[in-house]
Amino acid sequence: MPLYKHYRVFISSPGDVEQERAVAERIINDASRTLRETIHVCLDVIMWEKFPPDMSEVSIQKRINEKVATCDFFLLILNKRYGSLEQGEPLSNTEREVNAMIESKRKFIFLTYCKAVKEDKKILKDTQYLQLLELKKRLGKNHNALMKSFKNSHDFEEEFTHHLYQVILAEQNHNFKVEKLKMFWSLGSVENTNRPETIIVYPPIPRKWMASDDDEHFWHRRLQPNVFFEDFKAISKIAKMMNLVRAKFKVYSNFTFNMLEADNRAKNIIWVCLPRQRPAINELKEKYPDRRFDIIPRGQRSEAKIRWKNKDGVFFDIHSPLRQYLFTQRLHIDRDTEWSSTLRNVLAKDYAIVARMKKAIPQEEEWTGTKVKEFYIAGIHGLGTWGAACYLDRNYNTFNFDADEDIQLLLEVTYENGVVKDVIDVSDKDESYFQKENDLETVMENVQRFQSGVLDDQSEED
């Protein structure tokens, strides 16, 4: 037996759009029959006309407003009238219904349809119409109130039918994405619910790498530390996903190991960009001896790399071909000039780790967290970190993880013309694959194919 998702749709309006109300009810009922058979979605129409008589002293409008606050969709249809006012009430019943929906604090979809009105001197003196204009002005400032206009009932029927299906399908896709993301972002609970249960930790740019190194007043003008663009893109995507799964989180930079011990060890931690976070690397080695990966930071004479364990249990090193790609395509640039948009139009590749580990809790420590986890979103370079976050945001439809399962993925990230073009799971590839991808001949062949192809100048989805 399939499970059905029920949405309640409230139809609100003054009394001068009776025909449109009837059309809306018919459209919603027809859509419900169609969607029930296709994607198992049912729509229930809530209208004041359908309220049964009640012998209590509670006014019908109060009962309507209580029902409004439980709905998932609020459909508002307006023409020329502001609506009826109950005795002693300064607002019309229609605006009170709008307020009941907004004040419910629940997640809902607000659809507003306004009939086109030819204004003349007479109507501009009509109190009802002037009050309606004030309500429209207020709704125009509410970004959740999607406003559309219509000419007549036939035009309304076409607009609302298309819009309703569009919104329902978008809502279903959103819900599907949220549920799938929760399979990866399976966060442990924290006893103190008033504080963030998850912290995102990233490394700032060392000041010695900035041109302002000798400026003694530099920190007087900064509210937050500088961060690499690629790390920023990753952090933004992770924060977006945390909002989707409704996690309480906070973003921190430049954590020291002692700070983590003092306050945050019992929380879920998302480490972003490990090659420059030695506390995270050290903890990874100490706490997870059965891991499949190591992050080897940059040394005086060596580049950062990933050490990966193959299916036979043997570790091998994975280097990034990023520098070869960039030097090959930017061979003749003047390094002393300002940034140019042409510099973004290149092909590049990097490798990254996405991992989720159940946090190891020392027996001698008393922790208030339950099933808290550590997450690692880390590329060899910034491109890999950015791509790892993109992988989670884009590939959610493939997720089918158990809540307490350890996850360790090795990813290959491809960048083209300013965007992360593709991210693939290469966890099962053998060492020879990565050696070939780092070979200069392979890099040159890929660059030639890229430069000879016709590629759209796309922008990464937010």
CATH code of the domain containing 21: 3.40.50.10140
Question: Within this chain, do residues 129 and 233 fall inside the same structural domain, yes or no?
Answer: no
Question: Within this chain, do residues 167 and 205 fall inside the same structural domain, yes or no?
Answer: no
Question: Within this chain, do residues 170 and 80 fall inside the same structural domain, yes or no?
Answer: yes
Average pLDDT (46-51) is 84
| Within-domain flag for 458 | no
Give the range among 55-64, 173-182, 414-423 with minimum mean pLDDT: 55-64
| Within-domain flag for 460 | no
Residue, of 332 and 53, whose pLDDT is higher = 332
| Within-domain flag for 228 | yes
pLDDT at 256: 56
Give the C-alpha separation, 126 to 94, whole Å.
Answer: 18
pLDDT at 455: 46
Question: pLDDT tens, 330-360?
Answer: 888 877 788 888 889 999 999 999 999 987 6
Average pLDDT (82-107) is 89
- Among 181, 210, 225, residue at a domain's last position: 181
| Alpha-carbon distances of 158 from 165, 168, 217, rounded to whole Å | 11, 16, 61
Question: Within this chain, do residues 27 and 106 fall inside the same structural domain, yes or no?
Answer: yes
| Within-domain flag for 461 | no
pLDDT at 37 over 70: yes
Global pTM value? 0.76
Average pLDDT (153-177) is 93
Question: Within this chain, do residues 17 and 47 fall inside the same structural domain, yes or no?
Answer: yes
Q: Own/partner pairs for 115-124, CB < 8 Å, 24+ apart?
A: 115/17, 115/20, 115/77, 115/78, 115/79, 115/80, 115/149, 115/150, 115/151, 115/152, 115/156, 116/149, 116/150, 116/151, 117/79, 117/80, 123/80
CB 267 within 8 A of CB 199: yes
Question: Within this chain, do residues 101 and 57 fall inside the same structural domain, yes or no?
Answer: yes
Give the C-alpha separation, 444 to 354, whole Å.
Answer: 28
pLDDT above 70: percentage of residues in the chain: 89
pLDDT at 300 over 90: no
Q: Is the dihedral of CA 259, 264, 265, 271 positive or negative?
A: negative
pLDDT at 362: 57
| Within-domain flag for 359 | yes
pLDDT above 90: percentage of residues in the chain: 56
- The residue segments making up the domain with residue 437 are 190-332+341-452
pLDDT at 248: 81
pLDDT at 47 over 70: yes
| Within-domain flag for 226 | yes
DSSP 392: H
- Among 152, 181, 210, residue at a domain's last position: 181
Question: Within this chain, do residues 256 and 393 fall inside the same structural domain, yes or no?
Answer: yes
Question: Within this chain, do residues 238 and 95 fall inside the same structural domain, yes or no?
Answer: no
Three-state DSSP class for 266? Answer: coil
pLDDT at 216: 78
Question: Within this chain, do residues 260 and 282 fall inside the same structural domain, yes or no?
Answer: yes
Please count the structural domains in the chain: 2
Question: pLDDT tens, 242-262?
Answer: 999 988 888 877 665 555 555
CB 47 within 8 A of CB 83: no
Give the C-alpha separation, 412 to 436, whole Å.
Answer: 13
pLDDT at 287 over 90: no
| Within-domain flag for 459 | no
Residue, of 3 and 102, whose pLDDT is higher = 102
Question: Within this chain, do residues 14 and 112 fall inside the same structural domain, yes or no?
Answer: yes
Question: Within this chain, do residues 166 and 238 fall inside the same structural domain, yes or no?
Answer: no
Give the range among 80-89, 357-366, 392-401 with minimum mean pLDDT: 357-366
pLDDT confidence band for 11 (50 / 70 / 90): very high
| Within-domain flag for 352 | yes
Question: Within this chain, do residues 91 and 134 fall inside the same structural domain, yes or no?
Answer: yes
Residue 339 has a CB neighbour count (10 Å cut-off) of 7
Residue 429 has a CB neighbour count (10 Å cut-off) of 17
Place of tokens 């809790």: 361
pLDDT confidence band for 462 (50 / 70 / 90): low
- Among 132, 147, 181, residue at a domain's last position: 181
